[in-house]
Structure 1
Amino acid sequence: MTEDQLLSLLANNILWILLAVFAVLVIFRGLKIVPQSEQYVIERFGRLHKVLGPGINLIVPFLDVVAHRVSILERQLPSANQDAITRDNVLVKVETSVFYRILQPEKTVYRIRDVDEAIATTVAGIVRAEIGRMDLDEVQSNRDELIGTIKKWVKDAVDDWGIDVTRAEILDVDLDQATRDAMLQQLNAERARRASVTEAEGQKRAIELQADGELYAAEQAAKARRVEADAEAYATGVVARAIADNGLEAAQYQVALKQVEALNALGQGTGSQTVIVPAHAVEAFGNAFNMLKGRS
């Protein structure tokens, strides 16, 4: 084989090698495998052409280029502290944290330069505005409502950036030392007031119970006197009916019976005792015994 033939064969081989390398390069440049957690922003001649999703994608080699590789995983902004003044003029320091995801990379890369800084600035402004509409007590007690409001306003603000705010958290609401001291004094005063009210209510209840007891005792005494009066009235009625039915003799008989009972009681006394009875009383007792014998 002559030298010219060798040179011609070598040139042909080089050409085929170059063609093979070019073909591999075309395939390599035109075939894009996108990971599950990313999206690729494709530019053609410097302008947005399309967005590649996860998997195998084909582009035009040398015309289309991958301008941005954007992660679509949820991200967390670093915790940020911002000062805010409540409606009742109390200075508070609020620590916040925000989680977000990129849903439309073409908006994120072409409409905002530093997305993290932009979201942090937006959150700070919204937090200051919302806390400025609330008193300190409302900030402390309505934290869930405040978080929901902040999340809503942040989502509306970053919607043009192709971002979805998944969570917004208020980690802490801190007060300056002077405000803490004032709140502690107020808390102690409130505790003392509640203790005084409780003690006063206890004393009031004790007086009410004592009055109820005295009223109950008076009612029971009145009932006893009423029963006694009813019994006396009943006895008087019996005597009256006896007199009406049997005449004066029945009344004398009842009197004689009482006299005998009284004498018997005197005789049953304990110890040595002397009972002096007037003469007319002895005569009356004798009459009473005679009447009793006559009745028997």
Structure 2
Amino acid sequence: MNNVALIPFVVLGLIILISAFFVVKQQTAAIIERFGKFHSIRQSGLHLKIPLIDKIAGRLSLKIQQLDVIIETKTLDDVFVRLKVSVQYRVISQKVYDAFYKLDYPHEQITSYVFDVVRAEVPKMKLDDVFVRKDDIAIAVKTELNDAMLDYGFDIIKTLVTDIDPDAQVKAAMNRINAADREKTAAQYEGDAARILIVEKAKAEAESKRLQGQGIADQRREIARGLEESVEVLNKVGINSQEASALIVVTQHYDTLQAIGSETNTNLILLPNSPQAGSNMLNDMVASFTASNQIGEAMKNAKKKE
């Protein structure tokens, strides 16, 4: 019976002995209080405390933590905008006591400072500047938080403005403005392209006409050179210039008729083809040359009299 009565005391003793040991995880600090008063800070590992006298008042994580704060404020151009500021912070291992005892709600404290800084900085900027200078806002928040939270044992690692969300109507207006600007730019590019095409086409046509005229001039020059050579050859065999010209005109007249006849898709052209046609053409040419020479001589004589 005596042994049975001792069993509860043995069990109780074992429980008390086991409760004297505790484990602190990596990157964590445990605060030990004795009779309600701060006693010590224990880092990671296996530790021993006095049962019923010492107790673990709390544990603080030494890892980097992140707090996202949503703030609504107004810009310099009277646009309401919502900003999301992400604050990355951690408890300084040498200041665990300050972090645990000086500040009950660190999240609320950090949030208050973020609100204060953002609502002081953003109203100085226009909406476009808020997007461009969001890093300046983040730096201002980090500077203010570092100065304030360092005394409480918190180190502000980084602050980021991760989202800027203007009012829905403002966003719709901004989208319309951007779309109009893009359409304007596209129209300008299309106009430039059309103008370039017109200019290049005109240049190509001008070059084509120039080359065509040059080809015609070269053709006429070669024809004249050929006629001159033909007349010289005929003169060498005793045919005078007038007879040679008549022979050349008749020959070309029939060559032309032959060329027209060989084209299957050509339009119908009526030309004189009697034996006297060549002679008539030559006479008309000689008469034209004679009249032209007479007119030229008359103009020269008139100038001399003046």
Range into which the TM-score falls when normalised by the shorter chain: 0.5 to 0.7
Amino acid aligned to 1:159: L
User: Could you say what secondary structure the match of 2:29 adopts?
Assistant: strand
Aligned match for 1:39, one of 17, 29, 36 = 29
What's the counterpart of residue 120 of structure 1?
111
CA contact (8 A) 1:39 1:51 kept: yes
User: Could you say what secondary structure the match of 1:112 adopts?
Assistant: coil
Distance 1:272 1:132 in 2: 92
Aligned match for 2:166, one of 154, 160, 175 = 175
Shift in CA distance, 207/250, structure 1 to aligned 2, threshold 3 Å: farther
Matched, 1:191 2:182: no
The unaligned stretches of length 5 or more in structure 1 are 1-19, 286-296
The unaligned stretches of length 5 or more in structure 2 are 1-8, 262-267, 284-306
Matched, 1:255 2:245: yes
The structural deviation recorded for 1:108 is 0.8
Shift in CA distance, 225/171, structure 1 to aligned 2, threshold 3 Å: closer
The structural deviation recorded for 1:201 is 3.7
Distance 2:212 2:272 in 1: 37
The structural deviation recorded for 1:216 is 0.9
The structural deviation recorded for 1:226 is 1.0
The structural deviation recorded for 1:227 is 2.2
The structural deviation recorded for 1:252 is 4.2
Q: TM-score, normalised by structure 1?
A: 0.61
Matched, 1:206 2:194: yes
| Alpha-carbon RMSD | 4.8
CA contact (8 A) 2:22 2:46 kept: yes
Matched, 1:217 2:205: yes
Shift in CA distance, 45/197, structure 1 to aligned 2, threshold 3 Å: closer
Amino acid aligned to 1:120: T
What's the counterpart of residue 107 of structure 1?
98
The structural deviation recorded for 1:140 is 3.9
Aligned match for 1:51, one of 28, 37, 41 = 41
Aligned match for 2:60, one of 71, 95, 102 = 71
CA contact (8 A) 1:33 1:54 kept: no
User: Could you say what secondary structure the match of 2:71 adopts?
Assistant: strand
CA contact (8 A) 2:21 2:49 kept: yes
The structural deviation recorded for 1:189 is 4.3
Matched, 1:131 2:122: yes
The structural deviation recorded for 1:263 is 5.7
Matched, 1:86 2:75: yes
Amino acid aligned to 1:208: I
The structural deviation recorded for 1:39 is 2.3
